[in-house]
Amino acid sequence: MNKYLKLKTVADKYYPKENGYCCVIAAALAMNCSFGKARSAMYRISGRKDRHGMSVIGHLTALQAMGYKARYLELDSAKTLVTAQRALQSTKGTYFIYTGGHVTCIKDGVCEDWSNNEFGRRKLYRVESIYKIEKV
């Protein structure tokens, strides 16, 4: 199974000029595929550009075209990224948490992102939306 650090290592090694790839890593984690395959899908389907992120709609559209569906979740207790991670830590499945200009992937209760508290970058980001990602 792909993990965040493995995908980030591949991104840094093979795509050194790339940045703004949180949407690619989240898609690769959700689809259990390589960074390159997810990156290619984001370019081909949603027109993602080098060194740029994607809109929520573009990201979810690309996932839908690849056979996944996104269901919007209403979590009143999840106002920040930290509280959303806490609320989803005992869940099964894949969740995307969108904040201003960033997407975090929670897979089977584990935060697969640089914002994971294990990496020591605990910062408060306001949650804009949360989606549960499922294979169709």
Instruction: Provide the number of structural domains found in the chain.
Output: 1
Q: Which pLDDT score, from 0 to 100, does residue 1 have?
A: 40
Alpha helices in 4-126 (DSSP H): 4-14, 22-31, 35-46, 56-65, 81-88
Q: In CATH, what number is assigned to the domain containing residue 18? A: 3.90.70
Domain coverage including residue 119? 4-135
| Sites in the chain below the pLDDT cut of 70 | 1-2, 51, 117-123
Q: What share of the chain is helix, strand, coil (3-state, %, to 5)?
A: 40, 25, 35
Axis crossing angle, helix 22-31 with helix 56-65, rounded to the nearest 10:
30
pLDDT in tens, 24-33: 999 999 999 9
pLDDT in tens, 66-94: 999 999 998 888 888 888 988 998 999 99
The residues facing 112 across adjacent strands are 105
CA angle 1, 67, 6 (to 5 degrees): 25
CB 113 within 8 A of CB 22: yes
Q: Which two tokens stand for residue 32?
A: 């259990």
Number of Cβ atoms within 10 Å of the Cβ of 128: 13
